[in-house]
Amino acid sequence: MLELYFAPTPNGWKTTIMLEECGLDYQLKLVNIGSGEQFKEPFLSLSPNARIPALIDRQPKDDHGRVMPDVELFESGSILTYLAEKTGLFIGKSRADFHRVNQWLHWQMANLGPIGGQVSHFINYAPDGNDYSKQRYLNEYDRLLAVMNYQLQKTPYLGGEYYSIADIACFPWLLPYKNYGIALTQFTHLKRWYDELKQRPALRRGVDVGKEWRPENPPDASMRKVLFNQNSDQYKDK
């Protein structure tokens, strides 16, 4: 049995999209990041960085049907790779395919995700007076979309000829583009890719997971302290 520790954010949706695409059964465990559950046990032992998602694969079986010890993972990219290798899906058909996909997965983890997160913060949550920071991250987000567009003029998908975990990892980080004032029509190949992917039934199911848990109101003062003022204090006396 797969247990997914989850919150409805782009990094959470990456894993639910993958699970839905693979047709795997899983048990969903909400982590209330607004109240600070990510800093408490049992989640902190699963994810020492105190970030969702995390995954437990209970008693997985090897290629010979033998029951193996539980597998515990944090970091969405690691989870995507594990599920791809477990199922043989969405990672290409050869070792060369694997590495082409993997480089774009790493690109998302190092670029699109962190920059997209900063754009969201400075547009949605930061106090007034941060125009330089907001524009700095918006410019970089815009550049990263151009990087994707450049690649997608050469291949149908980011990793090559096949839909893969690289596409799954990137898609949720494009969902808020309208809120950022981005016109996707300026990126012809990226828009083609985006429009195609959003028609995939499993992807749509993955993005809908946890819809009822999405906050309806901006975070209050206590939630803002938890979400945006983290430092080493959260780890003291652990």
Q: Is the pLDDT of residue 149 over 90?
A: yes
pLDDT value of residue 166: 98
Binned at pLDDT 50, 70 and 90, residue 155 comes out as: very high
Contact (CB, 8 A) for 195 and 48: no
Architecture of domain 95-198: Up-down Bundle (1.20)
Most confident region among 63-67, 141-145, 216-220 by mean pLDDT: 141-145
Contact (CB, 8 A) for 3 and 188: no
pLDDT digits (tens, 9 = 90+) for 174-224: 999 999 999 999 999 999 999 999 999 999 999 999 988 888 778 888 888
Query: Does the fold of domain 95-198 match that of domain 2-89+205-229?
Result: no
Q: What are phi and psi of 34, to 5 degrees?
A: -70, -25
All structural domains of the chain with their residue ranges:
2-89+205-229, 95-198
Q: Is the pLDDT of residue 91 over 80?
A: yes
pLDDT digits (tens, 9 = 90+) for 36-45: 999 999 999 9
Q: Is the pLDDT of residue 238 over 80?
A: no
Name the class of domain 2-89+205-229: alpha beta
